[in-house]
Amino acid sequence: MVGKMIALDWRAMKVYQIRGLLLPVFAFLFGLFSPLLVIPMTVYMYLSYSINPFAVEEKGELNNLYLTLPVSRKEIVTGRYLLSFLMMLVSMAIGALVMPVANQFSVSKWCIGLEGYIAVIALSYLLYAILNLFMFPILFRLGYQKGKFWGFYLPVFLFAFLFSAYISFTTITEYKTLSLDLIRFASENLLVVSGSMAVLATLILALSYLLSLKLYSKRDF
């Protein structure tokens, strides 16, 4: 039944699917500034894209429909998390393909190797898990209209602020290679650094899932 919930959510957001096709283009444009940002930005954009079922279900009152089906609230939450997780995997694959292309046209040229890619992917996974923790539980508890500020706009604003601050910081001459230095360090300590980020991200994602289950079970429709 979880598979059917994933399919229902995917079909419900078909009105937004054309936007999903444009996300690699935006990722490429970000890559013109720095190719190292392609995978994190692609993961971030697809996470934001994966919350569209919340908007669709509220507009069409699909929660009432879902709950008339032989499906539990746990299966609804699980299906939505799995759909989001699958989209994250797709975004990583797309980002890994777009990154070397953007690198050919970018002002800055980077060569990070396979270990560097693994480090960037691990960091992107951690970013996904942290933002998911801020977004999904609130949206499951309050719905899209009531929760979109705290569960979507605020995390987006904070991410944009921190992202801009980091970009500004790395424009300072002595810190221009900071991103590459961090990736090189993670590459040289791949198991400890990237492994730790992946484990931490998994724990955060599990916490987000359990919290969403608890909050959604208490929600009245």
Q: What is the pLDDT of residue 212?
A: 96
Number of helices followed by number of strands (H, E) in the chain? 10, 0
CA-nearest of 102, 87, 71, 98 to 4 is 71
Q: Cβ of 182: how many Cβ atoms within 10 Å?
A: 15
Query: What six digits make up the tokens of 158?
Result: 């904070």
Please name the amino acid found at residue 200.
L
CA-nearest of 60, 77, 180, 193 to 137 is 77
CA-nearest of 50, 40, 53, 41 to 20 is 50
| pTM of the shown model | 0.85
* Cα atoms in the 13 Å half-sphere on the side-chain side of 131: 30
Rg (CA), the chain: 18
> What CA–CA distances, in Å, run from 153 to 135, 138, 139?
9, 12, 12
Can you give the pLDDT of all 221 residues of the chain as single tens digits? 787 778 877 877 776 777 777 888 888 887 787 788 889 989 988 998 888 888 887 776 666 666 666 778 898 899 999 999 999 999 999 999 998 888 888 776 666 777 888 888 999 999 999 999 999 999 999 888 888 888 778 887 887 788 778 777 766 766 667 777 777 787 788 888 889 999 999 999 999 999 999 999 887 76
